[in-house]
Chains A and B, each alone.
Chain A
Amino acid sequence: MNAPLRISPLHDVQVSHAARWTQAEGMQTPASFGADDAAKLVLAGIGDLSFRRRAGVKGAGAANWLNALGIATPPRHNSFLHMDDGTLVARLGTTEYLIEDAPGGTHADRISAATPGERIYPVPRFDAALLIAGTRAPELLRQTCAFDFDRLLPDGQALAMTSMAGVGITVLALDGPAGPHFRLWCDGTWGGYLWATLVEVAGDLGGGAVGLDALGSLAGQHNDASPWRHANN
């Protein structure tokens, strides 16, 4: 039997807008929303990175357990790091971790398959994972979130758990050649609402939904070779 198809939590709100689809990490994901994706990305682009595999774990023994699995952990709470292979490791609070594989990565699967020991509590993560980029991204964030995102930028390794448009999110800022962009995660069941809200506000700012093709390296941070498998529908 083939591996079952993963469906993005944002699929329902994207299905009537996407122009072309692709499969990334076994998940059906919009490759394009239209010819103006790149232009929207310059101003206020919203991308769906839910396809990236992730896992979570929390508990007093979580850090040591992850380290034993070869996964580095951030020394400070509410911060993140990128491993050399592009894996993102975020420390949420004191003893909870979110691990997101770079495309092609296997850490998430290894964590899910491993047997946790004492005071280690697996947290399955099937989040809606979004990317916000563009010169007007800060304005988009200010219209939807009461958090001061400038406080994330100077350090470059801090993350925040806050509320955006009424939805609880985890968010961090990353530097890139085109300026800072933002990664955020929320419970997938809120994802459709949050996506639609952000796309609507972004539309007022000249931006909107952006497919994987236009996102390019932004979708595979630390891995510019676009390793996900493209299979246009």
Chain B
Amino acid sequence: MTRIPVMPDEWVDRCRVVRFRFEGHAFEGLAGDSIASALWAAGQRTQGRSFKYHRVRGILSAANHDVNVMLQDGPRLNTRGDVVALREGMDLTAVNTFGGLAQDRARVLGLFARFLPVGFYYKAFHSKRLFPKWERLFRRITGLGVLDFDTPHIRTPKCYDFCDVLVIGAGPSGLAAALSAAGAGASVVVVDENARAGGSGLFQLGGDEARRLQTRTLLDKVRTHPRIRLLEATCAAACYADHWLPLIDAERMTKMRAQAVVVAGGAFEQPAVFRNNDLPGVMLGSAMQRLIYRYAVRPANRAVVLTANADGYRVALDLIAAGAVVAAVVDMRAVVPSSAQLDELSRKGVELLAGHAVYEAHAGLDGELAGATLCRIDAAGAVVPGSLRRVDCDGLAMSTGWAPSANLLYQAGTKMRFDDLLQQFVPSRLPEGVFACGRVNGVYQLDARMADGRRAGAAAAAHAGCGTAVDITVDAESESPSLAWPVVAHPDGKNFVDFDEDLQVKDFENAVQEGYDNIELLKRFSTVGMGPSQGKHSNMTALRILARLTGKSPQQVGTTTARPFFHPVPLSHLAGRGFSPQRHSPLHGRHAALGAVFMQAGAWERPEYYAVAGRSRIDCIRAEAGRVRSAVGLIDVGTLGKLEVRGPQAAEFLNRVYAGRYDTMPVGATRYALMCDESGVMVDEGVVARVADDVFYFTTTTSGAATVYRELSRLNVEWKLDCGLVNLTGAYAAMNLAGPASRAVLAQLTDQDLSSQAFPYLGVRTGTVAGIAARLMRVGFVGEWGYEIHVPAEYAPTLWDALMTAGEASGIAPFGVEAQRLLRLEKGHLIVSQDTDGLSNPFEVGMDWAVRLDKPFFTGKRSLQIIRKMPLKRRLVGFHLPENHTGQVPLECHLIIADGDIAGRVTSIAWSPNVGRHIGLAFVLPSMAEPGTQISIRVTDGAMVQAEVCTTPFFDPDDLRQKESS
């Protein structure tokens, strides 16, 4: 195995030597080499171990499917040696070995193969007693590569891209399709997973330079076409709805949206099945051609070519062109069609054996291919006794058939049918905007592939609105590219069907015998196609075996589901640069400057509390709450949803949306608003302010703002009322100035008459504060005299600063969400979604007063009318712990237990400095709702804490602090 003279389209740069290490040994390759080609050129044919039996393996496809040549490259695990480009300084080791590739201790598993039958995993785990033992064992001996948990987070960019026509595959048919589509005026993107475009047109030559030149001409045109972008080393990894396709390159994932998609992905060459078909040196014919034309490496010195189609003859000619001796071309077909390639091989004196097969391959002392036994086969594929003959060889090419690279077509929703002549699944019904051409479409002859590409390209462009589809005749295949039964039986097995999972023919026979005679069941029981290559080289043969064993046709057997991704995609690509939208109040910077510790509230970051050096979190929260009770505090409530409805039927709109009544509300007043869904469940709450006869300004919960606006917009369209809805959540800021000194602070900044006569509790006024136009509402969520001040967002920091300055003398300080929660709990005010859940109705939380069933209609009314007549199943009540309680304190969601059963749960609980004990809200059975009832709360460790049901509010029950007299 040596380098051969320069190939016209070789990928290697002979001027640049690349030094690397493999399994501790130094090697040299050339820039442009794959790892595998460099090793092969250096004579290193054993490049990995198989998954199950740890058999030595070498190159199989050289096309990104060689999962037995996966390598650890520093923190990069499972690097695919057959395609990953060599880099200077690589230090590579084969994965899945114990003690290195050459001395892998796990190779002993091969001796126990008979004790590891198909379905072994399932059978092992069947015993519950032995489950842990097997689990430990399997975890120890399975898994590919070593994960380095210190691997840095690589923030790969993600990208969107767009085109009229996306062509997947830059072989002859794909290139022709791209030129055809671009010629019609479409913007075209061509992607090819290979490092360089051209596909089989540049390596399946059969010594025929004209084939290469045809492809080269296409490629040159594509590269220079102004409407075509050619993306090499880029894999179309999946096909999602609306023609979204992730394109994966070395750096990133690009989410491509195409008007039309042309799949020209070609076909996977399939291994023939015979004993020892996995020895290093046995490889697909196309793999040998890739080594020759891409990497200028002679795959073997003396080769046998096993074939059943015209491609095998081209492989033989390419081997001869690369300086190899072809010992024999073994054709499994009884009758070989005449061809120029056949004549050429005859002229060159190559032995041609029709109706023959490889009975088995033989390993030399190094475990690599040293020879093959050939045999005659009859029409059914059975070995003819007495026909065995050994041939020495160090290379054995398999060219007996193909399977379409139809994964993306399947994902797009293509219906496929099995073509008996072609012995291949081909598209029978393509989804709209998806087209196929070339081998994946069952077209194999070079000229026909290009014609098929032109047809598909024009059709795709037409679909994208460019030009019109053209009727191009594509010649039918004259011979089948695939053999129906590429399997040779052997009494000693080791005739592998699935190289990922080391599955042999007998494994399928045993699985079917055990009743797994459906392709989906067979897949799961045998694990065929479940390895890293996802069955690209095994599914078709497995299907043929199952069809023969069950007496069905391949069409009847069908295929398994092709799921994303086509090739493994690095997690770094999937993670990429994360976008986590974060919403900030206009006052965020002010909060940060004041030492706020932020918490997440929906999409918002809100101050949980303001940290003070030397104080604990809970002390800070209690101090903030205490300041509101004793002086004045300021809280940012701008995260509340803020909506405005305007128009003659605005009141009617609110009447229908909320459970309360708003048409009777005077201008200048506010009213609590409770929103239910159709089933009567409480879904949101807020305050409605009537600022003009036909204008209402109202708030929603922070987390409900977007949902409520969306739903109300929908209802507004549906009801066709004469009013318009405007979302002001982001446009307006809001802050609540609360506490006994709040009026005095505000009075410094406004001309508004703040007397309780002019501006009573639950009033709304429009005026200016610190020169800023504002809406002011006298509300009392925290149970103090207070003002909610709403202003345009761009003035919020200015207003905040003005209030803080004005309040300095009164001892003003900001308070956060936790202090607000404590303050409202002291008043017994519930929070929808904390003190209610997805089943709570207004009656069970004591909000009968907020529901006006005498209205003609509101959302949820019908359900509430029914619920009203039924006995309550639970009640939300206040409770407190004994004043001298010590020990564990219940937490929110701790259960209330009665007679051994769940009788409710805690929804809110906190220690109240103003009440002097722990207070809370809880759902309990109606029979336990009477004040004075003792309840038992089960805390985390199972202990029970006693509490007593009590009335609410816990603090200032007569609301004196919100009245003038206070």
Binding site for B on A (CB under 8 A): 1-9, 11-12, 15, 27, 50, 58-59, 116, 118-119, 121-126, 139, 142-148, 150, 165-167, 187-190, 192-193, 197, 201, 204
Contact = CB atoms under 8 A, between A and B. Distances in A.
Given A4-B771, A58-B726, A121-B724, A15 B589 contact: yes
Given A58-B724, A188-B586, A7 B731 contact: no
Contacts of A124: 728, 731-732, 792
B722 interface: yes
9 contacts: A12-B592, A59-B724, A116-B646, A118-B647, A121-B644, A142-B159, A143-B159, A144-B579, A193-B584
B323 interface: no
A27 B794 contact: yes
Interface in B140-165: 157-162
B730 interface: yes
B582 interface: yes
Contacts of B771: 1-4
Given A126-B730, A148-B162, A166-B581, A7 B157 contact: no
A60 B586 CA distance: 32
B793 A188 contact: yes
B730 A190 contact: yes
B162 A150 contact: yes
Contacts of B738: none
Contacts of B584: 12, 189, 192-193
A151 to B, nearest CB: 8
Contact of B794 (A1, A8, A139): A8
Nearest to B638: A189
A116 B723 CA distance: 13
A125 B793 CA distance: 9
Contact of A197 (B579, B586, B795, B797): B579
Contacts of B647: 118-119, 121
Contact of B583 (A5, A8, A165, A189): A189
A116 B583 CA distance: 31
Contact of B796 (A7, A59, A197): A7
B185 to A, nearest CB: 14
Given A15-B589, A189-B730, A7 B797 contact: yes
Given A6-B795, A7-B796, A124-B792, A193 B159 contact: no
A165 to B, nearest CB: 4
A121 B159 CA distance: 38
Nearest to B770: A4
Given A121-B647, A126-B792, A193-B582, 13 more contacts: A1-B771, A6-B795, A50-B794, A119-B647, A119-B724, A122-B726, A139-B159, A143-B158, A143-B577, A165-B581, A188-B793, A189-B793, A192-B584
B731 A201 contact: no
Contacts of B255: 146
Contacts of B797: 7, 11
Contacts of B725: 121
B580 interface: yes
| Main secondary structure on B side of the interface with A | mixed
Interface in B766-803: 770-772, 792-799
Interface string B221-261: 00000000000000000000000000000000001010000
Contacts of A1: 771
Interface string B707-736: 000000000000000101110111110000
A188 B731 contact: yes
Contacts of A118: 647
Interface string B645-660: 0110000000000000
B585 interface: yes
B586 A146 contact: no
Contact of B730 (A122, A148, A150, A188): A188
Contacts of A167: 581
- Which of B577, B644, B732, B772 has the largest number of chain A CB atoms within 10 A? B577
Interface string B570-594: 0000000101111111101100100
B491 to A, nearest CB: 59
Contacts of B644: 121
A122 to B, nearest CB: 7
Nearest to B639: A189
Which residue among B577, B728, B794, B795 has the maximum number of chain A CB atoms within 10 Å of its CB?
Answer: B794
Nearest to A1: B771
Contacts of A8: 794
Nearest to B161: A142
Contact of B793 (A58, A126, A146, A197): A126
A187 B722 CA distance: 27
A112 to B, nearest CB: 9
Contacts of B158: 143
B798 A190 contact: no
Contacts of A142: 159-161
Contacts of B588: 12, 192
B257 A126 contact: no
A6 B794 contact: yes
Q: Can you list the 9 inter-chain pairs with the closest CB atoms, starting with the nearest? A: A187-B730, A12-B589, A121-B724, A166-B581, A148-B162, A189-B730, A126-B793, A193-B582, A165-B579
B443 to A, nearest CB: 32
B586 A189 contact: yes
A81 to B, nearest CB: 23
A197 B578 CA distance: 10
Interface in B572-623: 577, 579-586, 588-589, 592, 604
